[in-house]
Amino acid sequence: MTHDFSAPGNSERFHPLFKARHVALIGASGNPKKWGYVMLRNLINGGFAGNIYPINPDADELLGKKAYKSLREVPETPDLAVIAVPPQAAPSAVRDCAEKGVRAVVVITAGFAELGDEGGRLQDEMVTAARAAGMVLVGPNCNGIMSPWEKLYVDFPSYHVPPGNLAVVCQSGGIVDGLARRSMIRGLGCSLCVASGNEADLHMEDYLAYLADDPRTNVILCYIEGFKDADRFYRIAREVTKKKPVVAYKAGKTPAGAKAALSHTASVAGSDAVFDGICRQTGILRAKNLHHLFNLGAAFIHQPLPRGKRIGIVTAGGGWGVMAADECVSLGLEMAVLPDETIRRLDAFLPAWWNRGNPVDLVAGSAPDDVLRVVETLLAGPDVAGLLFIGLMPALKFTPEELLHRGAPDDFWGQAIVRAAVELVRRLNGLARQYDKPVVVASEHLISSAEQEARTLHAIGQSGNVCYEMPYEAAEVMAALVTYGQWVSDCRA
């Protein structure tokens, strides 16, 4: 028996997990080389507001917190217990939780079904105990969960991804951490991160069902090695995608990968063609790698959905426009044909030599305000469903001499460049909202320092927007927006 969280109202069963008031850590440690130390340290450093109860039979205090010999001694009932004890001791820890009235457990410990029969038996024992008590169980063999809006960080990395609107659910802890980190360094943040591990109790689809109704989640990213119950996943995912986009990367798509997945999380990868079919029929967008996965997630946080697939391109350099047009058409999008009226309106303010076609190549010398007028003129026309804006730098006001300044964080020009880039992207996204059409931005940053580039991208993210680097990335994002816009429209029809 599994819980059916796809039924309305079942979200509440997840609150002890993702909105825990108090947390116990069974297997907490004072040894910095132990995960029981790292977990406790991260939980404390993350700023969790509730009580934290380290459980360790041999300690009185750990990291400044009073420690308890056993869960029984804890003076109140924590909603959530994190279990980081050896596998043989894990089933009894779960039974202790049940006895105490804990409602949710996260089992970090590895060494269960992924190692074979004996591990599988221990895993079954835990699940039976958890379900008998009505607890939900995450893992085992996982990195934990991060619930940034609640400052609840149960995970290995020492960084704390800030709150945001991107949810991440992965059958690999390392990949959750990688995506959360990327989201953080891009200034975006996460609504919820889950490493689902062996999925002994809660499956991928349970988290999806919860996130579908989570008001802070705009888009869900998944890393999938295999399904415990493909029919149930199919049924639930199809409902979730009506509410918000789900983007998935599937690993184990070749026999070699599938073999590796089996020893990683005891996942049976299944046929890649079947997964493709599931995606098409459930409206899940399939990502081809983790860069692609993240790029789509970042777009769905804030972009309006296009109605149609005719795309306008505004580019600050011929080669970039050629690549953008190529990539759009390769992905099944169409280049909008600019009607005479649009051409006439652009003629009114663009230099005489402008190329009078789509892509609109601004090359050098266009004033920043003219650039925005071009974007607005295209968006205002009936022929453009969405727009790619390729190349920020020429639209900024800086001279090449000013751009030379590499700039420490307190450098005047360095800061000015970051501010100008943020402001331009903000205005582009303002136009996107005003015309309810997506404007996807990609740009090389013609600045000589990678650190300044990193600061720029972070600041753009913090302003609620995204800047990709390459035209192919922008085109892939636009294609996904078009596909999902069509899915939502078909579902409503």
Q: In 106-220, where does DSSP find H-type helix?
A: 117-132, 173-185, 204-212
φ, ψ at 452 (rounded to 5°): -70, -35
157 binds a second copy (CB under 8 A): yes
Give min distance, CB of 362 to a second copy, in A. Answer: 12
- 99's CB contacts (< 8 A; 6+ apart) are 72
184-243: contacts with a second copy (CB under 8 A)? 184-186, 223, 225
Binding-site member from 70, 88, 254, 271 for a second copy (CB under 8 A) = 254
Binding-site member from 3, 44, 50, 156 for a second copy (CB under 8 A) = 156
291 binds a second copy (CB under 8 A): yes
- Could you identify the residue written with the tokens 């002994």? 200
Give min distance, CB of 275 to a second copy, in A. Answer: 12
Positions of E strands within 37-162? 52-55, 61-62, 65-66, 80-83, 104-107, 136-138, 144-147, 152-154
Give min distance, CB of 323 to a second copy, in A. Answer: 5
| DSSP three-state, residue 178 | helix
104-123: contacts with a second copy (CB under 8 A)? 111, 115
Binding-site member from 158, 271, 281, 434 for a second copy (CB under 8 A) = 158
Amino acid at 209: A
Rounded alpha-carbon distances, angstroms, from residue 77 to 26, 28, 69, 84, 103? 14, 17, 15, 19, 9
Q: Which is nearer to a second copy, 215 or 400 (CB)?
A: 400
Scanning 170-178, 199-207, 428-436, 477-485 for contacts with a second copy by CB under 8 A, the matching segment is: 170-178
**Cα 415 → chain centroid:** 28
29 binds a second copy (CB under 8 A): no
31 binds a second copy (CB under 8 A): no
300-319: contacts with a second copy (CB under 8 A)? 316-319
251 binds a second copy (CB under 8 A): yes
Give min distance, CB of 410 to a second copy, in A. Answer: 11
438-467: contacts with a second copy (CB under 8 A)? 444, 446-451, 453-455, 457-458
| Binding-residue pattern over the window 402 to 431 for a second copy, x denoting contact by CB under 8 A | -xx---------------------------
φ, ψ at 387 (rounded to 5°): -135, 140
- 123's CB contacts (< 8 A; 6+ apart) are 112, 113, 140, 198, 200
256 binds a second copy (CB under 8 A): yes
50-109: contacts with a second copy (CB under 8 A)? none
Binding-site member from 9, 57, 75, 255 for a second copy (CB under 8 A) = 255
Exposed, middle or buried: residue 76 (CB in 10 Å: 0-12, 13-18, 19+)? Answer: exposed
33-52: contacts with a second copy (CB under 8 A)? 33, 35, 38, 41-42, 45
**Cα 10 → chain centroid:** 23
Binding-site member from 36, 144, 297, 391 for a second copy (CB under 8 A) = 391
Check if the beta carbon of residue 158 is closer than 8 Å to that of residue 45.
Answer: yes
Binding-site member from 78, 140, 312, 321 for a second copy (CB under 8 A) = 321
Check if the beta carbon of residue 253 is closer than 8 Å to that of residue 296.
Answer: no
273 binds a second copy (CB under 8 A): no
Token pair in block for residue 320: 């970039």
- Could you identify the residue written with the tokens 């119950």? 229
270 binds a second copy (CB under 8 A): no
| DSSP three-state, residue 124 | helix
Scanning 66-74, 205-213, 251-259, 296-304 for contacts with a second copy by CB under 8 A, the matching segment is: 251-259
Q: Which is nearer to a second copy, 27 or 78 (CB)?
A: 27
326 binds a second copy (CB under 8 A): yes
Q: Give the span between the Cα atoms of 440 and 335, in whole angstroms.
A: 15
Q: Which is nearer to a second copy, 77 or 415 (CB)?
A: 415
